Structure 1
Amino acid sequence: MKRAHGLITGAALAAAMSTALATGAAAQTIKIGVNEPLTGPFAASGTYVVNGAKIAADEINAKGGLLGRKIELVIEDNKSNPTEAAAVAEKLITGDKVPVIMGAWGSSLTLAVMPKLMEYKVPMVVETSSSSKITTSGNSYIFRISPPSSVEATEFKSIMPSLGIKKADFLVINNDWGRGSAEDFGKIMKAQNIQVGLVEIMDQAAQDMSAQLAKIKATDSDTIMVTTAVEQLTLVLKQAAALGITKRIVTTGGSQNPDQLIEQAGAAANGSMHLTTFAPWYPDKTPNPAATKYFLGEWKKRGYAIAGATESFRGYDGIRTIANAIQRAGKAEPAAITDALWTTDFPGLNGQIKFQKQGPTGKESGQSMPNLYLIKIENEKIILSGS
């Protein structure tokens, strides 16, 4: 009996030691939550962002990590669904104990996460979402490095005269991103005496947009403003070509992946124009050519298609923004990281990352102001406006 008791005690001790070692190992890393769509309609875009984030994490860890510890990305799939995005945020914060998150790609996904950030007082770097509501609704834990549609529209204002737009129709995804884009661009156009015609919407899972496109074809507009992710945009371009639509197509939101459009839509993509926040085809014309070339080199080294670079760079910059804040904060705690994010000032791949205050006084969110590019697809090649 004594021998059996000793064996049980030894087994329990071994288990306790194993748990302690595992806990100790976990304590040696700094966790960063990543809340992205890896399945569902936005899966391709979310995967690009995550792969960019991994390049940043590997780069940081190869240089010794942060505060003497390696960083660990805790990556979760929000399934392109707002309810799932909120649940993922709760899991990351309460289960994985992350002190900061990057996410959540789509505007509706990010808006769903925002109450969780306020509840638990955990900051999130928003790498993609463009709805203006994200930084104007009063959430002091939001720090966005991508431009809201209002900023995109303002930047587009200086480009519009060269395009000679007289009247524009809109075809947008039926969520906060799409509807917000139509509203923001519509305001800018009306202020420039450009007529706004139809505003047609499409569900995010829709495969057939021919009915909306047929209505738009019948109008006297010269331009169609389109906002949606690359998978659906590919279908829009193909269906527009099949209907014989010759109107100019301009896309917004920076999630078009022009290389992917050329590959998947072929000649149907010719003539289309796209607002992007990164120009990987012209690294020497980006704000930080050396960093751009390093990132693109790593992207290609891992065997990733160049098509993903226009989105993946945001995951790369998002993690670098978080790491920059943690290093300056001197500790990986939510309050300290939040404070440090407000004093961020370093070169990202598409411009200086520095947060301005937006939203109600005392509840401001942080908004960085990246560069914006207009590119055109001609003969299945990408041409940078002004090149």
Structure 2
Amino acid sequence: MKPAKKLAAMAALFAAVMLPAHAQILVGQTAGFSGQVAAGVRETTDGALLFLDAVNAKGGVNGQKVELVSLDDKFDPKLAAENARKLIEEQSVVALFLTRGTPHTQAIIPLLDKHGVPLVAPSTGAIVLHRPVQKYIFNVRATYQREAEKAMTHLASMGVKRIALVSANDTFGDDGIAGALKGLAASNLQPVLQEKFDRAKPDFAPIVAKAAKADAQAVLMVASGAAVVDATNALRQAGSAAQIVTLSNNASSGFIKSLGANGRGVIVTQVFPNERAMTFPLVKEAQDLARAKGLGELSPAMLEGFAGAKVLVEGLRRAGPKPTREKLQAALETLRKFDLGGLELNFSPEDHTGLDFADLSIIGTDGKFRR
């Protein structure tokens, strides 16, 4: 090879080696991949990855692939905050995404405010994340209060009047109960029992005894999956036939499996359309991608993650070819009348609620959510 050509080849090789790897958009997630909410967390994340993988397969967003960096916080608010710090300060993620839990999400708000990092689609319906508006939090799903209120008015319309309210002693529990009390008040009812339990060390025996004494026809459980399963088992072992009702944080296939035979007839509120309702383009898109990957049927939790990923990607797309935290924040606030696929989502600087859809489902004898 002639010297000039050899030098040119060496220069080209050197340039190739020195060029940075294909740029990726880093998005961070902290959630309880182990512990009492693990089943739901895995399903929401699988749903999100279903959409993100499809986007990346087509070249990503503005030519950049989106990488989701997920850390396990074991459903511990303190660990959630530390994970968020690592993702923001050490890995320089452009956004946080799909956190799980009310106190857990609240624990990371100071970090969002300090670094100007948007959080998209937290998997919690806490009213404190909606009102007053949290500048850096962009909710996609409806509030727990909306769900609980709808559940209570539904029970009242069926003639169920003796309703017990049981909740974890945390901000999530308080939030759901506030909505339930609104629904009961609208139906001119009062709860026959209102009890809290220690989220870390629940003891349902005394609560079950009180529910039996109050002759409760229905029991609303505002708690995470494992606690609701334990409480349901305790009620059934005590001979109670009370209707069990819980919120959409437990809308996962894993929750149904954990309930086993006691799952039949449990009412679970939902914040997205029926995962088998192909008339919704959102559902059809998710179903088609799931089948293509051999994942089988969708769960409501997967659909929540899928919808959240669609919002995240649209925000990144509007943020331009070199998205920053600031650009993404501004872009998300332009999502007005954004069609998720049969559901219209709206954000503005004054409103970060997104959707207000709420529905009810019941676990059938086949172990599936029915509407």
**TM-score band, normalised by the shorter chain?**
0.7 to 0.9
2:339 equivalent to 1:351: no
Q: Cα distance, 1:161 vs. partner?
A: 4.2
8 A Cα contact 1:287 1:349, kept in partner:
yes
2:255 equivalent to 1:265: no
Aligned residue for 2:79? 84
Q: Cα distance, 1:17 vs. partner?
A: 9.4
Q: Cα distance, 1:48 vs. partner?
A: 1.9
Letter aligned with residue 276 of structure 2 = Y
2:314 equivalent to 1:324: yes
2:309 equivalent to 1:340: no
Residues 369, 79 of structure 1: alpha-carbon distance in 2 compared, 3 angstrom cutoff: same
Letter aligned with residue 337 of structure 1 = L
Letter aligned with residue 321 of structure 1 = V
Residues 323, 147 of structure 1: alpha-carbon distance in 2 compared, 3 angstrom cutoff: same
8 A Cα contact 1:255 1:276, kept in partner:
no
Find the residue that maps to 1:65 and give its secondary structure: coil
8 A Cα contact 2:250 2:268, kept in partner:
no
Find the residue that maps to 1:195 and give its secondary structure: coil
Q: Cα distance, 1:94 vs. partner?
A: 1.2
| Residue 124 of structure 1, aligned match among 115, 119, 131 | 119
| Residue 129 of structure 2, aligned match among 120, 128, 134 | 134
1:44-63 pair list within 5 angstroms: 44-63=39-58
Letter aligned with residue 347 of structure 2 = F
Find the residue that maps to 1:165 and give its secondary structure: coil
Q: Normalization by structure 1: what TM-score?
A: 0.83
Residues 367, 40 of structure 1: alpha-carbon distance in 2 compared, 3 angstrom cutoff: same
* 2-structure distance, mates of 1:213, 1:37: 28
The C-alpha deviation readout for 1:79-111, integer Å capped at 9, x for no partner, is 211111111111111111111110311011111
Q: Which has the larger displacement, 154-163 or 89-98?
A: 154-163
8 A Cα contact 1:283 1:292, kept in partner:
no
Aligned residue for 1:373? 359
Residues 349, 39 of structure 1: alpha-carbon distance in 2 compared, 3 angstrom cutoff: farther
Aligned residue for 1:69? 64
Aligned residue for 2:181? 186
Letter aligned with residue 225 of structure 2 = V
8 A Cα contact 2:167 2:197, kept in partner:
yes
Q: Cα distance, 1:295 vs. partner?
A: 4.3
Q: Cα distance, 1:182 vs. partner?
A: 0.8
| Residue 293 of structure 1, aligned match among 278, 283, 287 | 287
8 A Cα contact 2:24 2:65, kept in partner:
yes
Aligned residue for 2:305? 315
Unpaired runs of 5+ in structure 2? 1-13
Letter aligned with residue 48 of structure 1 = E
8 A Cα contact 1:350 1:371, kept in partner:
no
2:238 equivalent to 1:243: yes
Q: Cα distance, 1:154 vs. partner?
A: 4.5
8 A Cα contact 2:112 2:119, kept in partner:
yes
1:141-152 pair list within 5 angstroms: 141-152=136-147
* 1-structure distance, mates of 2:199, 2:365: 29
Aligned residue for 1:275? 269
Aligned residues: 356
Unpaired runs of 5+ in structure 1? 1-15, 358-363
Q: Cα distance, 1:148 vs. partner?
A: 1.2
Find the residue that maps to 1:172 and give its secondary structure: strand
* 1-structure distance, mates of 2:230, 2:342: 28
8 A Cα contact 2:225 2:250, kept in partner:
yes
**What is the Cα-based RMSD across aligned positions, in Å?**
2.7
2:103 equivalent to 1:108: yes
Q: Normalization by structure 2: what TM-score?
A: 0.86
Aligned residue for 1:96? 91
* 2-structure distance, mates of 1:285, 1:161: 30
The C-alpha deviation readout for 1:45-101, integer Å capped at 9, x for no partner, is 222222222222211101110111111112122221111111111111111111111
* 2-structure distance, mates of 1:200, 1:340: 43
Residues 351, 328 of structure 1: alpha-carbon distance in 2 compared, 3 angstrom cutoff: same
Aligned residue for 1:175? 170
Find the residue that maps to 1:283 and give its secondary structure: coil
* 1-structure distance, mates of 2:260, 2:37: 21
The C-alpha deviation readout for 1:176-199, integer Å capped at 9, x for no partner, is 111210122112212320112322
Find the residue that maps to 1:117 and give its secondary structure: helix
* 1-structure distance, mates of 2:285, 2:157: 31
The C-alpha deviation readout for 1:164-223, integer Å capped at 9, x for no partner, is 232321111222111210122112212320112322223334465222122111104322
Letter aligned with residue 117 of structure 1 = L
* 2-structure distance, mates of 1:350, 1:279: 9
Residues 281, 116 of structure 1: alpha-carbon distance in 2 compared, 3 angstrom cutoff: closer
* 1-structure distance, mates of 2:292, 2:29: 20
Residues 127, 340 of structure 1: alpha-carbon distance in 2 compared, 3 angstrom cutoff: same
